[in-house]
Amino acid sequence: MGNTYDATTILADPSSTVAGKEIQFSTPDRMAQSINYSFATGACHNVLSQAYSDKVFIQDSSSFTEMSQWRIPLVSLEHNELEVVMNYRLYGSSSSCNAKITLDVGANTANSTINLATSTNGIANGSVTIVMPSSNEYYGTLTIELQGDGSTAEVELFSIMARFKRINSPIPAGQKNQYVTTENFRPFGTVRTDSDNALSSRFGYNMIDNISIMRKRFKSYLTWSGVYSPSSNQYPSLEDASASVVYIGQGHIGTLFSYPLLPSGWEELVGNKLQLHVRAIGDVIFEFMGNQIVVDQATSSTVGWSIFELSIDQIDLSEIGDINLPYYIGEFDQVLDNYSTLGSWGSPFTTRFPVVNSGNTGAILAITLMGI
């Protein structure tokens, strides 16, 4: 059966299913094309977008050095290819400068090395293809390492973006798993729906089940990581590479934010809905989007990711936009706890990763807000 889809498919006309009217066969065909298209392409936009000030994300070491790490949502267990695009610059001339991208999903790991050719302002892209686990994974961990060429050349990143590639049409036959094997998405065979055939109840049941599964697909709303291992012979001063942002501080309150989508019926959905993934060193307590987040690590030098399910007071947090629809702001709250916990000029982090000075109990290295 042809599980095809067309990016230009016209949406089904709801008036064509009104009682007493003859159902046009183009209606179920458009519905089938749309649901196949949704599974193959839905949420295949950026899961990571981060830009940097000049002379911050820079590396001169001839060995691969870990620079940043992010937590990203998966599209599904069928989408296994992550495309990464970087805007960079090389100081000097060398063919030995590289970026290494590693993607961890559960116990599975894949990586790709992207050569950064000599360029004053270049674009490099590559992809990581990973064998997805069989079930129960809805996020992955993305790590980037940079390699310069010692005193010969240094590489500097200006921005990095990543997205999962779409599944091409036709979708391979058979049931698909979004995240768990207990829920099966069933692509529609459009060879049957593009002709004037009789409808069965199975079409309707499968359509409703598929829509219910698709509503649980995660999206990335806010993804940020500090740059914790910069090094530069060309820009060694504290005002340049040595001053790159490693931990989240007071200056991020009210400036590091996003607008998560909480559609109608969101509160009735069962399962994971809106999560904050935090990578921290040591213990940290802060408030985010009306929730108190308590990161409790084993020791003051422990580095790890923690996951928090957010509870949302929709009446308190919602604001009305210019099209008269409510929207929500996901951000660090303007509260005293955040100002006293996060680093600042008055209470700076005086040592670099992986050590936090004794004046601070812990620090946030990276943060991701993801939701359905």
| DSSP assignment string, 119-141 | -SSEEEEEEEE----SSS--EEE
Consecutive sets of 10 residues in the chain, 372 residues long: mean pLDDT of each? 79 72 77 93 95 90 95 97 96 92 97 89 92 93 95 93 96 92 89 71 89 93 92 77 74 89 76 92 91 90 93 74 73 89 66 57 90 90
C-alpha 230/C-alpha 240 separation (Å) is 10
C-alpha 228/C-alpha 247 separation (Å) is 8
Describe the chain by its helix, strand, coil percentages, rounded to 5. Answer: 15, 35, 50
Highest CATH level, class, for 46-166+220-225: mainly beta
Enumerate residues 6+ apart whose C-beta is below 8 A from 204: none
Please tell me the number of Cα atoms within 13 Å of 294 on its side-chain side: 2
Bridging pattern class, strands 274-282 and 184-185: unpaired
Structure confidence at residue 197 (pLDDT): 67
Peptide bond into 230 cis (omega under 30): no
Burial group, residue 184, by CB count within 10 angstroms (0-12, 13-18, 19+): middle
* pTM for this entry: 0.91
Enumerate residues 6+ apart whose C-beta is below 8 A from 289: 276, 310, 312, 317, 328, 329, 330, 331, 333, 369
C-alpha 288/C-alpha 315 separation (Å) is 16
Q: Among 253, 236, 238, which residue's Cα sits nearest to residue 340?
A: 253
C-alpha 294/C-alpha 176 separation (Å) is 37
- C-alpha distances in Å from residue 117, one per residue of 62, 114, 123, 124, 305: 15, 9, 10, 9, 34
- For residues 79 and 210, is the Cβ–Cβ distance under 8 A? no
The residue extents of the domains of the chain are 14-41+180-214, 46-166+220-225, 246-371
CA–chain centroid gap for 242, Å, is 27
Structure confidence at residue 149 (pLDDT): 93
Phi (first) and psi of residue 239, to 5 degrees: -80, -10
C-alpha 280/C-alpha 307 separation (Å) is 11
What residue type is 266 in one-letter code? W
Enumerate residues 6+ apart whose C-beta is below 8 A from 85: 123, 124, 125, 160, 161, 162
What residue type is 221 in one-letter code? Y
In the beta sheet, which residues pair with residue 112? 101
Enumerate residues 6+ apart whose C-beta is below 8 A from 161: 46, 48, 49, 84, 85, 86
- For residues 372 and 216, is the Cβ–Cβ distance under 8 A? yes
- For residues 32 and 190, is the Cβ–Cβ distance under 8 A? yes
Please tell me the number of Cα atoms within 13 Å of 159 on its side-chain side: 12
